[in-house]
Structure 1
């Protein structure tokens, strides 16, 4: 049985054709003209690939699913051509959404098979998010999806009400990427089985501002949101109030919600977390009685699950095959050879209430230090990311002697002074995270670094950070961080235990302070961090003083020759206009920032050279640049949508850092100026 690949552009949504997953055409025929092409292919599996996949991922998926046709929107992404170059297929253009919402009657396609006949047949094909590498296709059977349908039966069997029974017949806003598996799994499942009216976001980036408008006008009973979006709405007074006034419940999934946010919201709105996977769809979550238990899940016993002891006294959620629960264990229709299925999610039990479990991270997120100690970073990262100035936080240290922290700011500092201010503002959140973690996992000030604006953190389709890809992308920076700390504090190169022990005396626990050498190492490590912090602050003050003195000298030397009736000169010789600068972004193309040097021919030439090199360096990370020239069309040179985002970030970082008097460029600028020469000219000249 072959597959049909569907690639949906970010600005079009054709029926279900941008959900990042797939449905069998036996169930979904939208119109007679389109069905004339599809009907001869009844029984063919359709595979919907996310437009956020890299070209490598696209090629891998279509090959592994043996795709024979590619369905495209009316304005397909440039990457479609590159997919077809590597894997030739038939091309079919799909109508847009308005066509499918027309009032004309469509042909009814009968489905005469019984559930038992198709239980183990593919219903659709999903692909994993790529958190651990190239996304993998996962054929989902009718039996797997049937496990979600059976959840509505549980209350009639004497069990607690499930989430499906709670939202039955209600209107729910799904603030999830429409190309993500959860959007397809949950929207189709809730719509078909529970009669839920699913409100989907428009085809544009889903911001807190846009979500707030949907809260206000969609009349949704509740919303399913990513934790980051919940935090963004919470941090804005207007959006937070509107969210609480408009909705009756909030469901978050795909990650952890900071406790300080959830503990406030749970007193004003029903707050809960749900989980599932490609293989299981939505798990049978029982509704909780106490709103203070918002972090915990309670799964129906009909799932036949256990929390198998893993590490750090956490339980790995595992579904064990049992014949009496066959109709509720859909995962074993997808994997008929398995007797149990481990989800790979680690939970801790409620200290007082049996049956309630709180998510604490993935089994593969555990960090092992050279001290033989381990750390689950999820809770710490969640606390740090609650800081409104932090977009993402990733804790590293695998194979090292202690933990380190990589921060992705929401607004990048433009100089050393602003970077120090940023760290000072985030440090209380790091202290809070350190307070509740084991001593060996605490983040010291010298082990914090910021991401490079030109190297944004890789993210999966559900907008979660791809940890393994982050470690690979920043391997050099992490190595330099530990090498620098080792030079500053030689005692921190290895485990904080004696290098040798007296005969007959085993090494003690590294966390105990009864060994003088252990205490000495800890003191040396702390002192080293303090000294480094003091020296760094002194150097920053010295650099700031030099910059101020230089600016004053420049102002004195230029005041005689430079005069402008409509403008006032800044100390550094820039133009201070009434529009000003907001959040480090120039407000108008004609406005220079407060520290920008006059844009003479030499400065333009230097800036052009720097930007040109940045563009080539960024491209070198993604494509072969040996044959690339200044006049080469980048789109024709196989630059796909993900690589364009990286290039866009690199150019905008240059604009901010070099204080170019232009607005930050939008993605359309790259499509309009698809060569290196044109991009440089658009920014600098």
Structure 2
């Protein structure tokens, strides 16, 4: 943001500056109607600033005007849940202008999860659109003192009507430690918790990193910042995710990336390859174009002629959330389209992965001396990415736990054979299973609930990158009194324990009898010397039985093993690719 004086680098001030000095500069493309075919219109910085001000005045009208002596160290938290449209962006900016901070819970939270977020954030009011008010019904029965306010249609904010500007005069020095917004994460207990995002994080860990990348030598430029620069990108990620916010709120300011907001009523959930083809057909295009997709959709596009033609319209495709197989990545690269993983987390932000040659899409190089990130030896040839606290560190793990000196990302890496400085992602030391739809759940919490029933001796739940999870069960002697007891009878005995745990899972994540695999007598789930489960060893030991269960249930073969790692045949990928496990994450 070299065009903006540094003291005006807080986001609302930056938009106001550009609205004054570059009023016709493009910020985003917004839909004209409910269908892609209805077309899009350009939202300039002048129109964007006017929409933020309209939203700010509305917030004051329903919540009260900002006090003259606003205590920025204790800003009012305003939770909002709505459709995936531009109101999320407007509320983030307008809350900052009015001396508040938005909290963006996931719409998929349970009522108990929402109550937890409300209590931990000391919220006194919640916002929702008409179609999302029902999500607050049960939580507010438990917290009836909290007000529910219905949010008007987006046309109330985005319009050409004249209105009085809403002044924002807070400088960077004054507001560097203000909370910019509040996200959420699901902790190891399974309940979500608020995650504060500070302006210091936005300034020093995103904006400054982009500026340094732009000035670096070509081999030391961060892939995400290079690719996003001046690129038109469909906004396909949930706007309550850090990744979704980065593509609509943060990166557009300093990379000039143009988010293409989609008509929410037409977007299928989960996203389909056919809809991506329609975006390519009807959506606006720039001189540079990119798209972020989950690997499942990328595979679907790469498998038919129309999908391949769609991919060729983009300069690059990014993936995240689960691994992309070698076959698909190589096929897209051969079309002349760059493939890139975007990796990061709500806790630590974007990993500054450097831009490689296109044929090395499945390998990663890390920026050196990068905000305390380092690779810590984990086991055998595996290394875990960790981060050491830095002075005045604004990253959430260190704000939440002031005594923490190191945060472990749980991302595992393996050195690429014969390629010094190149690393292959090797999965996660993770409690969570992430399905192909990006639905994510805490497998450890579910396992513990099932194991609380004495009918189950031990169990392991997995299924990364699959459509449905599976469960491997070591039955108790009560469930399988004899080695010859039929499997159907054993599953029938243990099923009530599994069914009770299913109540805590979304429909697509629920365990099924057809994907329930029993351990064999004499081959129990493997324990480590510490008494914990050796998940990797156990799952590989039962890989054949697990794959047989998927095949018998009618699921198509996948190009991953039971650990969610891509499979490459020994005689394939001899074009210079190191064998490994490419992966990306979007949280």
Which TM-score tier does this pair reach, normalised by the shorter chain?
Answer: 0.5 to 0.7
Query: 1:161 maps to which residue?
Result: 221
Q: 1:17 Cα deviation (Å)?
A: 6.6
- 1:248 maps to 315
**1:54 counterpart = 2:110:** yes
Q: How many residues align?
A: 417
Trace 1:582-621 onto structure 2 (pairs within 5 A). Answer: none
Name the SS of the counterpart of 1:49 in structure 2: coil
1:353 and 2:419 equivalent? yes
How far the C-alpha of 1:403 sits from its partner, in A, is 8.3
Q: CA deviation at 1:232?
A: 2.8
Matching of residue 16 in structure 1 with residue 88 in structure 2: yes
Q: Deviation per CA, 1:6-25: give whole Å up to 9, x if none.
A: 121x4x7351179xxx7364
Query: What does residue 517 of structure 1 align with?
Result: none
Q: Secondary structure at the match of 1:213?
A: helix
TM-score between the two structures when normalised by the length of structure 2: 0.59
Partner of 1:175: 236
Structure having the larger proportion of residues in strand? 2
Rounded Cα–Cα distance in structure 2 between residues aligned with 1:459 and 1:300? 42
Cα distance in 1, alignment partners of residues 282 and 128 from structure 2: 31
1:136 is paired with a residue whose SS is strand
Matched, 1:123 2:180: yes
Write the mapping of 1:78-89 to structure 2, written as runs, cut at 5 A. 78-88=134-144, 89=146
Which stretch shifts more, 168-177 or 268-277?
Answer: 168-177
For residues 526 and 231 of structure 2, what CA distance do their matches in structure 1 show?
A: 56
Distance 1:405 1:338 in 2: 30
Cα distance change of structure 1 residues 352 and 114 upon mapping to structure 2, 3 Å threshold: farther
C-alpha separation in 2, matches of 1:51 and 1:70: 13
Q: Is the 8 A contact 1:225 1:250 kept in 2?
A: yes
Q: Distance in 2 between matches of 1:207 and 1:192?
A: 29
Distance 1:457 1:286, change over 3 A: farther
**1:5 paired residue among 63, 79, 82:** 79
Residues of 2 paired with 1:60 and 1:327: CA distance? 26
Matching of residue 215 in structure 1 with residue 280 in structure 2: yes
2:203 aligned with 1:134: no
Higher helix share: 1
1:331-363: per-residue Cα shift (whole Å, max 9, x none)?
767766543332221111222333332222221
Deviation at 1:140, TM superposition (A): 1.0
Residue segments in structure 2 that go unaligned for 5+ positions in a row:
1-73, 452-456, 469-486, 528-536, 556-587
Q: Superposition RMSD on alpha carbons, in Å?
A: 4.8
Does the Cα contact within 8 Å between 1:143 and 1:334 map onto a contact in 2? no
How far apart, CA to CA, are the structure 1 residues paired with 2:501 and 2:103? Answer: 29
Name which of 207, 217, 230 aligns with 1:149: 207
Partner of 2:152: 95
Please give the secondary structure, in 2, of the residue aligned with 1:246.
coil
Structural mapping, 1:507-656, within 5 Å: none
Distance change >3 Å, CA 310–CA 332, structure 1 → 2:
same
- The 3-state SS of whatever aligns with 1:296 is coil
The structure 1 residue matched to 2:360, chosen from 292, 304, 319, is 292
CA distance in 1, matches of 2:340, 2:225: 13
Deviation at 1:55, TM superposition (A): 1.4
Contact 2:363 2:416 in 1 (8 A): no
| TM-score, length of structure 1 as denominator length | 0.52
Structure 1: which 5+ residue stretches go unaligned? 29-41, 367-376, 386-390, 412-445, 497-510, 512-521, 541-582, 584-685
In structure 1, distance between residues paired with 2:143 and 2:298:
40
Distance across 1 between alignment mates of 2:304 and 2:341? 22
